[in-house]
Amino acid sequence: MSNSLHKTIIEQFAEAVSGHQINQLDSFLEVDVQKTTNSKIVYKNIQEAQDYYGKENSTQWKILEFIQDDPNGNTMQTRISHGDKTYKTSYTFSSAGKIHRIDTIIEQ
């Protein structure tokens, strides 16, 4: 899968989260998606992801930059601003092209 397609999926995912379009998350996330923040599990499946993002406040998610670091093409890193924090985020994609894993680290 191309880097540009990964970028598009991440951008659309961020727009859906920012717009509270929780019913669209299954377009971007695998059923068994997992997210960690600073190595702690935030959610482990699409239902937990929908619950998590449904409780988010109205702060916009802003992609600051894309960083491609995987020659095999199944992961992409970004820096994202949300609220008053910046996150370094790594997205791992499934063979179907959906996000399978999200690992975030809060930047100091």
Q: Tell me: the pLDDT tens digits for 40-96?
A: 999 999 999 999 998 876 668 899 999 876 767 799 999 999 888 999 999 999 999
Grade residue 107 by pLDDT with cuts at 50, 70 and 90: very high
Does the pLDDT value for residue 13 go beyond 60?
Answer: yes
Which residues form the domain of 86? 3-106
Residue among 27, 8, 4, 10 nearest 92 (CA):
10
Number of domains in the chain: 1
For position 83, which CATH number holds? 3.10.450.50
The residue written with tokens 């989260």 in the block is 17
Q: Which pLDDT score is estimated for 94?
A: 96
Q: Which residue type, as a one-letter code, is found at position 31?
A: V
Q: What angle do CA 48, 68, 57 make, to 5 degrees?
A: 35
